[in-house]
Amino acid sequence: MLVSATEMLNKARDGHYAVGQFNINNLEWTKAILLTAQELNSPVILGVSEGAGKYMTGYKTVAAMVKAMIETLNITVPVALHLDHGSYEGAKACIEAGFSSIMFDGSHYPIDENVAKTTELVELAHSKGISIEAEVGSIGGEEDGVIGAGEIADPAECKKIADLGIDFLAAGIGNIHGKYPENWKGLDFEALDKIHQATGGIPLVLHGGTGIPADMIRQAISLGVSKINVNTECQLSFAAATRSYIEAGKDLEGKGFDPRKLLAPGFEAIKATVKEKMELFGSVNKA
Ligand SMILES: [Zn+2]
């Protein structure tokens, strides 16, 4: 069922596990993630970036597809449909389109403007029962063409934004989007602990979950991280499975060119990646 992400993340915080946000790009992605969540009896968050929303022809299409799929596949675990790194305009559009959760990424605004815009969106989202995530300290790496430096968020700024009534907070702790470089210094757990202490137990969000070692993920969860975003990893596993299907010449055998066959190995690969993450995050059987 489609729900806001508030309750599932409060439960995750209290139960010391994390719920995965898996970004979707099309029907195969959405179906693979929903079916895996149901099979593992896990809550799940479907992330939609503004670029992916555009690709899928708009937020209304996405919301209609997700709602219909939840119904026809009999998905009974809690599912949140969440805008990832939303702009001010994008957040409003998703509230209109029927998303159950939004992220407003005001991290590139001066703190006062971030506060003003976040305040307005909190009120609007909550009036419709929609959860809202905000961000402090830009998260490094490339995201829809925007390259962030990977800052460590200031705990005082985190408190300021958390106090606006948002439901969960993304704070930079050295994490970056995409693949991690060889010389990556790892997560800053001291900073995470300070942010956790300063923000009074609000569920924290770890962006850039692809390639963070399992022990760092577990430690982050123990320090208050309740939502972990995974995007690139599903793309990599989908691409690798599709590549080996084609390199094995299977698209040339019989009706191997049928998209339902051609995309099947990638679909299974996404399912396997999502399963692995749900097990690592501890959300299995927490629906
Ligand atoms: Zn992110």
**Residue range 103-141, pLDDT digits in tens:** 999 878 888 898 999 999 999 999 999 999 999 877 766
pLDDT attached to residue 182: 81
Over the chain, what is the mean pLDDT? 94
The reply to whether 190 falls in a domain is yes
C-alpha 38 – ligand 1 centre gap (Å): 25
Helix ranges (DSSP H) in the chain: 6-15, 27-40, 50-55, 59-72, 88-97, 111-127, 155-162, 189-198, 214-222, 232-247, 259-262, 264-281
- pLDDT grade for 142, boundaries at 50, 70 and 90: low
Q: How far apart are CA 264 and CA 100, in angstroms?
A: 29
Phi/psi at 24 (5° precision): -110, 155
Determine, yes or no, domain membership for 82. yes
Number of domains, the chain: 1
Distance 177 CA to ligand 1 centre (A): 6
What's the rounded mean pLDDT across residues 160-185? 90
Q: Which domain holds residue 78?
A: 6-235+270-281
CATH number of residue 50's parent domain: 3.20.20.70
Q: What percent of the chain is modeled with pLDDT above 70?
A: 96
Query: For residue 261, is it within any domain?
Result: no
pLDDT of residue 149: 53
- 193 catalytic? Reply is no
- Please compute the mean of the pLDDT values over residues 85-107 and round it to a whole number: 96
- Of the listed 84, 105, 154, 167, which one is catalytic? 84
Angle between helices 111-127 and 155-162 (to 10 degrees): 30
Determine the distance separating the centroid of ligand 1 and the alpha carbon of 264, expressed in angstroms.
27
Any domain includes 91: yes
Cα(287) to centroid of ligand 1, in Å? 24
The residues that bridge with 132 in the sheet, in sequence order, are: 102
User: Shortest CA distance to 21 belongs to which of 282, 176, 284, 209?
Assistant: 209
What pLDDT, on a 0 to 100 scale, did the predictor assign at position 148?
52
| Contact of 186 with 176, CB cutoff 8 Å | no
Q: Is residue 240 part of a domain?
A: no
Task: Tell me, yes or no, whether 258 lies in a domain.
Answer: no
All residues with CB under 5 Å from ion ligand 1: 207
Q: Does a structural domain hold residue 196?
A: yes
Instruction: Report how far ligand 1's centroid is from the alpha carbon of 253 (Å).
Output: 40
